[in-house]
Amino acid sequence: MNNQEFSPQERAKQKAGYKAAEYVSNGMIIGLGTGSTVAFTMARLKERIETEGLSIHGVPTSIQTMIRATELGIPIIGLEQADKIDITIDGADQIDPKLRLIKGRGAAHVRERIIADASLHLIIVADSSKMYDTLSGPIPVEIIPFALSHVQKRLKKLGGKPNTREGVKKDGPVISDNGNIVLDYYPSERFDPIKLETEINMIPGVVSCGIFAEFASKTTVIIGDEEPKIITLLDLNQ
């Protein structure tokens, strides 16, 4: 697909993805997120490797990203091989004014959280449709299969509704790259992201939920436009 065939939303994603690639320099170890906007970043990194001789290594957050990076010729290493991750470039499903996120509609949020935590900086690429005044459901929750019924009961006690995410073109639930079940939790009312993130993640059997509230201080958000908009907490506090 060439640029003339892109929808306005796809062009915005491309602008954001390409802008994020400018933050990458020689020798960096890059966390590679999962999703359609990060795919544009990876495509631009491929171009820079071929035209500039850019030397980097990527740590993928999903099997899909690992396959895509390999096809593009981006050198891949495992998390255990990375002394540190300089920056991670990832997407988000929702972004609030305090740069708190909801992630996991692609069921990769557990690995994405690990890589984000291991990173010095987190760059979130998105189009303007991902900006929200307040975060809302559904909230992805990855759980170990043994704990399914228990976690469902505990989530209901929090006042919302958990739904097992059903697979597309397969029978049964969505299974993550980690072999776990993914639920979508619909809160019954407006929530405090930090409080609810803690409450969900503390339920035995939950691996991780899709609220990302703890990384805001090291997050830069790039919103795709003709001139991409760069947002950090420093900007918001001035």
Q: Which residues are catalytic?
A: 112
Nearest CA among 106, 130, 110, 133 for reference residue 190: 133
Dihedral sign, Cα of residue 160, residue 204, residue 195, residue 236: negative
